[in-house]
Amino acid sequence: MRANLKRRLTIFCAASALGMTLAANVFAQEFPEKPVRIVVPYPPGGFNDTLARVVGDRLSKIWNQAVLVDNRPGGNTTLGNNLVAKALPDGYTVLITPLPFSALPGLYGAQLPYDALKDFSPLVLAANTQNVLTVRSDLPVNNVKELIDYARKNPGKLNYGSTGSGSSNHLSMELFMRMTDTKMTHIPYKGSAPATLAMLSGEIDALYDNIPNVLPQLKAGKMKAIAVTGTQRSVLFPSVPTVAESGVPGYEVNVWFGMQLPAGTPKPLVERMNRDIVRVLKEPEVIKKFRDQGVEVIASTPAAFSQLLQSEVVKWTQVIRDANIKVE
């Protein structure tokens, strides 16, 4: 009798699982039946916003449904991130997720209102760029070696800007100082535009920033680019060396941009959305548009993005701990 009961329970569980799988597949096929929202945890402008609007515009045509961009800046991006973490896992709320997302666990610890690795379902690693190390046009520094020498002779007297504690440009400089035994004074700003203006006005001496954000100023000769943070030179600045080849071996910061969903989103739906977004990202027009800004399309699988997120959280938590970085 117990054997029969066990068999019946096994059959029931298998049937239930099959039913849930079939239901999830049907839901994924019929998605979306209402507007989809892409949450950008930054103000309008910058590549995070560009990514959301380019992808959203094309997805709306594929899905025959509105895709809305919702800019939710605040709390060092935690406001927008938490909004998506607490949303229904039904595919209708998507989060733009750049590199700084992986630094927040190290910055906030237990105060973070969500779990960065448990409360989200990675969707796609969309694209990758580099930060470029720039200095004031009138600073007597023309390469990384000269910057290191100048900083060592003037400890703490050089000011460097960032778009806030835990931003990719802040982390890039903290890693640089740790690997070169230099010390500069951090001045955070509320975004790339005010940080760039501070550089142009002479308020700061050095600035790491995403290539797309400072491209116009570099082309105009208003700032000096002395190095890029990736493992290869940028196609936009082939004469500008990497930090690593400039005398800081092992230095590397890849500035990535991805998209996530709330944890618990059905796997068939994640896979369906990933296929559609990859299709958009691989359009020649999109590839060219991004490349003209110094951004390379990646268009990864959800699993590949998940692996990157896990390794990046470990990396930047250690950098933050070693540098004793605090939220400012």
* Per-residue pLDDT tens over the stretch 57-96: 999 999 999 999 999 998 889 999 999 999 999 999 999 9
Q: In the predicted model, is pLDDT for residue 289 greater than 70?
A: yes
Kindly give, in sequence order, each residue whose CB lies less than 8 Å from that of residue 137, ignoring residues fewer than 6 positions away: 221, 222, 223, 224
Helix (DSSP H) and strand (DSSP E) numbers for the chain: 11, 10
Q: In the predicted model, is pLDDT for residue 22 greater than 70?
A: no
Q: Which of 93, 99, 106, 96 is nearest to 73 (CA)?
A: 96
**In this predicted model, which residue has the larger pLDDT, 161 or 326?**
161
CA dihedral (242, 243, 249, 252) in degrees, to 10, reads -80
* Per-residue pLDDT tens over the stretch 173-226: 999 999 999 999 999 988 888 899 999 999 999 999 988 888 888 888 899 999
Residue linked to tokens 């142009």: 200
Query: Average pLDDT of 111-124?
Result: 97
Query: Average pLDDT of 125-139?
Result: 94
Q: What count of Cα atoms within 13 Å lies in the side-chain half-sphere of residue 17?
A: 6
Element (H, E) at 217: helix 211-219
Tell me if 47 sits within 8 A of 212, measured CB to CB: yes
pLDDT band for position 46 (50/70/90)?
A: confident
Query: Average pLDDT of 264-293?
Result: 97
pLDDT band for position 3 (50/70/90)?
A: low
- Tell me the percentage of the chain whose pLDDT exceeds 70: 91
Confidence at residue 5, expressed as pLDDT on a 0 to 100 scale = 62
The span from the CA of 75 to the CA of 59, in Å, is 29
Question: Where does 64-129 have alpha helices with state H?
Answer: 78-85, 104-108
Q: pTM of the entire structure? A: 0.84
Burial of 181 (C-beta count, 10 Å sphere; 0-12/13-18/19+):
exposed
